[in-house]
Amino acid sequence: MSWIATKLFIKKSWLWLKTYWYFPLAFFYTLFLYMFFKKDSPAAIGVLGIRSDSYKEQIKTIDTLHKAEADEKEKINKKFVETLEKVDVELKKNNDKLDRNKKKRVKEIVEKHSDDPERLAQLVKESFGFEIVE
């Protein structure tokens, strides 16, 4: 019985090794690296710590930039909505309607000149024939 059990164990082991050959390879590779570099392990751990800190700093910077970009986009969108409402009110006074092309023109003006209210008012006056008073 012992020989049959041993033979079965060897066959199953060989099948497992053929299927999952990378596990033993990774184990022996790790063991080799540990033996070869164990004297420099504090340096390696230090490098990993520095990389981790760098990663955290990069993530923090990306988050900050994303928040600034989102705030800027929201600011421009708010300015667009305000300008669109003002244009709509003025057009209603003149019994005119705000159509798709006029909305596109307002959006284009606001996107390009949202930081300069004077230029924004001037372009709206030129495009639609009335002034926006802030």
Q: Check: CB of residue 120 under 8 Å from CB of residue 114.
A: yes
Q: Check: CB of residue 120 under 8 Å from CB of residue 110.
A: yes
The pLDDT of residue 40: 67
The pLDDT of residue 63: 92
Percentage of the chain exceeding pLDDT 90: 20
pTM: 0.48
The pLDDT of residue 90: 74
Domain residue extents for the chain: 2-128
pLDDT tens digits for 25-76?
999 998 888 887 777 667 767 777 888 888 899 999 999 999 999 998 898 8
